[in-house]
Amino acid sequence: MVSENVGIALGLTLLAGLSTGIGSAIAYFIKRPKIVYLAFALGLSGGVMIYISFMEMLPEAMETMGEKWALLVFFLGIGVMALIDLLIPEPENPHNFDDMDTPRVAHGSHKLMRTGVFTALAIGVHNFPEGLATFAATLSDVKLGAFIAIAIAIHNIPEGIAVSVPIFYATGSRKKAFLYSFLSGASEPVGAIIGYLVLMPFLSPAVLAGTLAFVAGIMIYIALDELLPTAHRYGHGHLVIGGIVLGMFIMAASLLMI
C-alpha cells in the first residue's frame, strides 16, 4: 500500500507547493484582494493542521512506537522548525506579510528586489519540511494527506503574495515575480522526493510512525507560529477563531466517515 501511494503523495505535494502561484495571481490579476477572506481561510487551515496533528498523526505514532518515543520525535519536529526560524533574519522571515497590500515604493527599488529574493529563499526553506509533511502523511493515509495538502496550499497563498509583490514593484515584470514565487513553492516537492529517497530503504511501520510524529511537530509549529498570527493580523478575532473551529469540525466529521 505504501508503494502504491508514492505517486499520489508526490502529486499532492506538488499541488500544495505550487499554490504559491495562486498568491501571485491574486496579487496581480485582482486589484484588491479581500484579505479578510484570506484570514478566515488561514484560520481554517490552522484548525485542520492542529486537529490532524493531535487527533490523528501523534496518536497513531504513539500506538506504533510508544508514547515516550513519539513525544520525543514530535518535539524534535518543533525544534527543527524553530531552528530554521532562528537561522533566517527577521526582515526576510515569511511570517511577515506587512506589504501584502499595494506597496508605496516605485519601480526599480534594489531594496524591494532584495526583500523579494530573500523572502523567496526563506519561504523555500520553510516549504521543504512542509513537503515532507504532506508526503509522509499521504504514504500513511491518502485521505489524511489530501487534507494536509489542502491546508498547506491555503497557507502558501499569502507566501506567494509576499514573494511576488516586492519583486514586481522592483522590476515591473509580472513574469519575474511569478517565477520567483513558483520557485519558492517548488521546494515542497523537492522535500518530498528527498524524503522518499532517504526513507524508502529504511521504511518500516516504526520509521513511518516516527515520521508522522516528526511531521506533527512541524505542522503544529507552522500553525501556531505562521498561520494563526498571520490570520489575526489581517482578520477579526472572531472570524479567525470561527475558521479554526470550522476546520477542526470538518476534519472531525470527515474522519468519522472514513
Residue 92 clears pLDDT 60, i.e. is over it: no
Count other C-beta atoms under 10 Å from residue 72's C-beta: 14
Number of domains in the chain: 1
User: Is residue 156 helix, strand or coil?
Assistant: helix
Query: Any known ligand binding at 188?
Result: yes
Residue 258 pLDDT greater than 60, yes or no:
no
Q: Cell numbers 499541488 label which residue?
A: 15
Q: Residue 126: which pLDDT band, with cuts at 50, 70 and 90?
A: low
14-72 pLDDT, tens per residue?
888 888 888 777 666 765 556 666 678 778 878 888 888 899 889 988 998 999 999 99
Kindly tell me if the per-residue pLDDT of 120 is higher than 80: no
> How far does the chain reach from its first CA to its final CA, in angstroms?
17
Separation of alpha carbons 7 and 204, rounded Å: 18
Whose CA is closest to 29, among 174, 212, 244, 236? Answer: 174
Q: In sequence order, which residues have a C-beta less than 8 Å from that of residue 85 and are 6 or more positions away?
A: 93, 225
127 marked as binding residue = yes
Residue 245 pLDDT grade (very low, low, confident, very high; cuts 50, 70, 90): very high
Distance CA 10, CA 15 (A): 9
Give the C-alpha separation, 231 to 213, whole Å.
26
**Section 150-166 average pLDDT:** 75
Q: For position 237, what pLDDT does the model report?
A: 72
Ligand-binding annotation for 96, yes or no, is no
More confident residue, 81 or 95: 81
Higher pLDDT, 187 or 75: 75
On whether 63 is known to bind a ligand per the annotation, the reply is no
11 class by beta-carbon count within 10 Å (0-12 exposed, 13-18 middle, 19+ buried): middle
Query: Residue 75: which domain range?
Result: 3-256
If one counts every other C-beta atom within 10 angstroms of the C-beta of residue 197, the result is 9
Output the average pLDDT for the chain. 76
> Is 156 among the annotated ligand-binding positions?
yes
Q: Answer yes or no: is pLDDT of 208 > 50.
A: yes
Say whether 232 counts as a known binding-site residue: no
| Structure confidence at residue 81 (pLDDT) | 83
